[in-house]
């Protein structure tokens, strides 16, 4: 099946427009062929429109041919935010978590370290990737406990995390929100009836809850066991 990659707005680095349409004209994305982060300058093959903008662009690094398609918003074709750009083939490269760039709780140095770890991973530099992953972990520990002892080891910093962070809080907040939303449905109330918006939020919260309580722990256990196993069977360093 053809799998297209939807490209986030944050990756746009240029626009082109006429009186009725506005489209991205350049993007910085990971090339699906050489897996480097490269700049693609897009020349659209037809007059700008809302349904059939396409282009083929060669990667400046490896010359691989990437196809781009852009759909504009039918009602507001000048609003770039409402359109969507796709590329093909989709990249098999590791992508950063969506939303990390916009997240204000993560410092810029921490974001940069995280993005570097992923970029370096995509180039196949395994040892450098492992080092950067550890650096990101240090950054996370430092962000969560900013005033820890300066020379404290990472292991000790991590052990002390629960004293500084209330790990139960997000899960209790989610559970409480679902319970309150459920009350809206269970008890008749003319003023407050659950609608699509509320129930969509509730399903989202349920997804988070199930992922947090059931899916993530088993996945984390599995990864932890794998890393432990590597350590035992590998060299003694
Ligand atoms: Zn390339």
From first to last of its 237 residues, what are the pLDDT tens digits of the chain?
A: 678 889 988 899 999 999 999 999 999 998 988 888 899 999 999 999 999 899 999 999 999 999 999 999 999 999 999 999 999 998 777 888 888 888 888 899 999 999 999 988 888 888 999 999 999 999 998 888 877 677 888 888 888 888 888 888 888 888 888 888 888 777 766 677 778 888 888 888 888 888 888 899 999 999 999 988 887 665 444
How far, in Å, from the CA of 58 to the mean position of ligand 1? 8
**84-88 and 5-7 strand pairing:** antiparallel
Q: Return the pLDDT at 237.
A: 44
How far, in Å, from the CA of 14 to the mean position of ligand 1? 20
Order of all β-strands in the sheet with 84-88: 5-7, 84-88, 65-71, 53-58
pTM of the entire structure? 0.64
Nearest to 117 by CA among 106, 103, 101, 133: 133
Q: Return the pLDDT at 154.
A: 87
How far, in Å, from the CA of 110 to the mean position of ligand 1? 27
In this structure, the number of other CB atoms found within 10 A of the CB of residue 68 comes to 25
Q: How far, rounded to the nearest angstrom, does the alpha carbon of residue 153 sit from its chain's CA centroid?
A: 29
How far, in Å, from the CA of 40 to the mean position of ligand 1? 10
How far, in Å, from the CA of 42 to the mean position of ligand 1? 15
The region that residue 216 occupies, defined by phi over 0 for left and psi between -120 and 50 for alpha, beta otherwise, is alpha
How far, in Å, from the CA of 34 to the mean position of ligand 1? 4
How far, in Å, from the CA of 12 to the mean position of ligand 1? 17
Q: Which residues pair with 214 in a beta bridge?
A: none
Nearest to 140 by CA among 162, 152, 163, 157: 157
Q: Describe the crossing of helices 126-144 and 108-122 by its angle, rounded to 10 degrees.
A: 160
Task: Decide: 53 and 87 in contact? Cβ < 8 Å.
Answer: no
Return the residue matching tokens 């009186």.
19
How far, in Å, from the CA of 29 to the mean position of ligand 1? 10
* Residue list, CB under 5 A from ion ligand 1: 31, 33-34, 59, 61-62, 64
**5-7 and 12-17 strand pairing:** unpaired
Q: How far apart are the first and last CA of the chain?
A: 44
Task: Decide: 33 and 64 in contact? Cβ < 8 Å.
Answer: yes
Q: Which tokens is 45 given?
A: 């093959």
Q: Is the Cα dihedral 14, 93, 143, 127 positive or negative?
A: negative
How far, in Å, from the CA of 115 to the mean position of ligand 1? 18
Q: Return the pLDDT at 184.
A: 75
Task: Decide: 209 and 182 in contact? Cβ < 8 Å.
Answer: no
How far, in Å, from the CA of 87 to the mean position of ligand 1? 13
User: Which residues, other chains included, contact 137 with Cβ-Cβ below 8 Å and sequence gap of 6+?
Assistant: 154, 158
């Amino acid at each position: 099946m053809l799998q297209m990659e939807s490209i986030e707005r944050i990756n746009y680095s240029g626009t082109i427009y006429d009186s009725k349409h506005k489209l991205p004209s350049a993007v910085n994305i990971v090339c699906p062929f050489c897996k480097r982060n490269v700049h693609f300058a897009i020349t659209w093959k037809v007059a700008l429109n809302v349904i059939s903008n396409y282009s083929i662009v060669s990667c400046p690094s490896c010359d691989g041919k990437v196809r781009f398609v852009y759909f504009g918003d039918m009602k507001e074709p000048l609003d770039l935010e409402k359109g969507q750009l796709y590329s093909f083939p989709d990249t098999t490269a590791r992508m950063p978590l969506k939303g990390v760039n916009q997240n204000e709780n993560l410092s810029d140095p921490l974001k940069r370290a995280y993005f570097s770890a992923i970029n370096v991973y995509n180039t196949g530099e395994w040892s450098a990737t492992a080092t950067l992953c550890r650096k990101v972990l240090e950054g996370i520990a430092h962000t969560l406990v900013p005033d820890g002892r300066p020379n404290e080891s990472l292991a000790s910093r991590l052990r002390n995390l629960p004293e500084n962070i209330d790990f139960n809080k997000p899960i209790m907040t989610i559970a409480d929100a679902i319970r309150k939303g459920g009350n809206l449905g269970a008890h008749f109330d003319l003023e407050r009836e659950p609608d699509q918006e509320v129930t969509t939020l509730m399903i989202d919260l349920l997804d988070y809850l199930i992922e947090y309580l059931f899916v993530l722990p088993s996945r984390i256990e599995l990864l932890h066991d794998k890393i432990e196993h590597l350590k035992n069977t590998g060299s003694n360093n």
